[in-house]
Amino acid sequence: MIPHTGNVFVISAPSGTGKSTLTSRLVKNMEGLIFSISTTTRQAREGEVEGKDYFFVDHDAFDRTVAEGGFLEWVEVYGNRYGTGRDWILGMLAKGVDVLLDIETQGALNVQERMPDAIMIFLLPPSAKELERRLRSRGKDSEEQIELRLNYARHELEHFPQYDHLIVNDDLEEAYRQLESVVLAARSRRCRMEATARRLLSEF
């Protein structure tokens, strides 16, 4: 197990479930919680910023980092590769900062294997029909991409037993409250607060 002070939160969800909306709000509202910034070989989308949304690299650079053991996890999805930089994550955790990893299931399970105390959260859509409606209403994907995402959603959902928390995003406010409560509860765990309790005990 990799020793660290901060908490690691890993959240996964099928595309179109509302994960980006919820996680962006969570990081904005909760002090001491930051996004992990992934490295990817895919092209930047309109509005995405280097070093804020992703670190964009070519395939050769990605290969070098893999060979050097520089990723905590990496995975290929939809023909592109995504990786979580090991040193950056561990540096944040050593400072007591909580890190939120917004990654798909294969990458999430790789993180769980290397960091068994990572807090695993899976966001569920209310139904398959509603997920399809949300994907189509975004107007960002082709018909082929929508079918690909729906097929992959079933594959991702099969991994739900390996997550600690399951949150259905039917009502956005309720889903957010549940997500926030997971973070707050993790921060009061004995392993996180033991030093504080021992310091208090020493005063008596």
How many helices and strands, by DSSP H and E, does the chain display? 8, 9
**Is residue 166 domain-resident?**
yes
Range of the domain at 196: 8-36+98-202
Amino acid letter, 52: K
87-119 burial, b for 16+ CB within 10 Å, e for fewer? ebbbebbeeebbbbbbbbbbbbbbbbeebeebb
CB atoms within 10 A of CB 81: 19
Q: Does pTM top 0.95 for this prediction?
A: no
**What are 27's two structure tokens?**
């990081």
**Is residue 160 domain-resident?**
yes
**In this predicted model, what pLDDT tens digit does every residue of 22-35 receive, in sequence order?**
999 999 999 999 99
Number of domains in the chain: 1
**Is residue 106 domain-resident?**
yes
CATH of the domain at 19: 3.40.50.300
**Is residue 152 domain-resident?**
yes
**Is residue 13 domain-resident?**
yes
pLDDT of 160 reads 95
**Is residue 174 domain-resident?**
yes
**Is residue 63 domain-resident?**
no
What is the rounded (10 degree) CA torsion for 13, 16, 22, 23? 60
**Is residue 172 domain-resident?**
yes
Each of the 204 residues of the chain gets a pLDDT tens digit; together they read 445 589 999 999 998 899 999 999 999 999 999 999 889 999 999 899 998 889 999 999 999 999 998 998 998 877 899 899 988 888 889 888 999 998 889 889 989 988 899 999 999 999 988 888 888 888 777 888 888 888 888 889 999 999 999 999 999 999 999 999 999 999 998 888 888 888 899 999
